[in-house]
Amino acid sequence: MFDLQGKTCLITGGAGSLGLAAARMLHAQGAHLALVDLHLSDLDEACERAFGAEAAGVLRLACDVTDEAQVRRAVARTVDRFGRIDVLVSNAGIFGTVAPIEAYPTEVFDSVMAVHVRGAFLLAKHAVPHMGQGGSIVLTSSVAATRGDPGVYAYITAKHALTGLMRVLAKDLAPRGIRVNAIAPGPVDNGFQKAVEDGLGAEIGRDGTEFFNEMIPMGRHGTADEIAASILYLASSQSGFTTGHALMADGGMSV
């Protein structure tokens, strides 16, 4: 159903739950994988856990996505290994903190914007020359791109910015046959979200997970595999006439 046999997929944030879940699904459809994360040791551990004996076939690359030279090298190594890039999943991300504007640390705001927005920009800049007709770029956004919650200055701003970047890329690359979309998850049952909810719970004086579940019409968090299934759809030709779209995978939270 999903025609990814022999396609090369480059995924950042590859050691995290969403990146790894997407990698497993793409690999199951025959894709070659290049996984990128900040630390090679994290990638090695994640790949061994996810792929077992087949982990040797997964290209693992340590890269700070905010560093242009490192991004350029990661793309070059992927192309050297597999010849081209067919799917780019820009998934690296950090949350930052929650604080009133007068107390929000400027350096935290800058770092969150750099990872999400500069990182996605640099990946597209250097990967697109190695992509062609039928290529797909998926940016990991968030339901946060539809919201404005008190104190979440860096993360929400970065996710709104990613929507703008996605739209510009989609218009620019459509004549070249490259589609660009975003996946916008709601709260996911993983370590990243738990850290967010623990911090939020301390701020609001109640359980952060329950607080989010009350805002989700489906009454629960999503799973990494549920989000990965939407990434798989956007990566494949099953979404061949879809570009410039933010696919909400949020249990109805944005409705």
What is the set of active-site residues? 155
CB half-sphere exposure, 10, CA atoms < 13 A: 34
Tokens encoding 251: 């249990």
Tokens encoding 10: 């480059």
Kindly calculate the radius of gyration of the chain based on its CA atoms and give it in whole angstroms: 17
Tokens encoding 173: 């690359």
d(CA 145, CA 151) in angstroms, rounded, equals: 14
Tokens 């979309």 label which residue?
181
Q: In what order do the strands lie in the sheet with 87-90?
A: 59-62, 32-37, 8-12, 87-90, 136-140, 179-185, 246-249
DSSP three-state, residue 220: coil
Q: Which of 11, 18, 13, 123 is nearest to 58 (CA)?
A: 11
Measured distance between the N- and C-terminal CA atoms of the chain, rounded to whole angstroms: 30
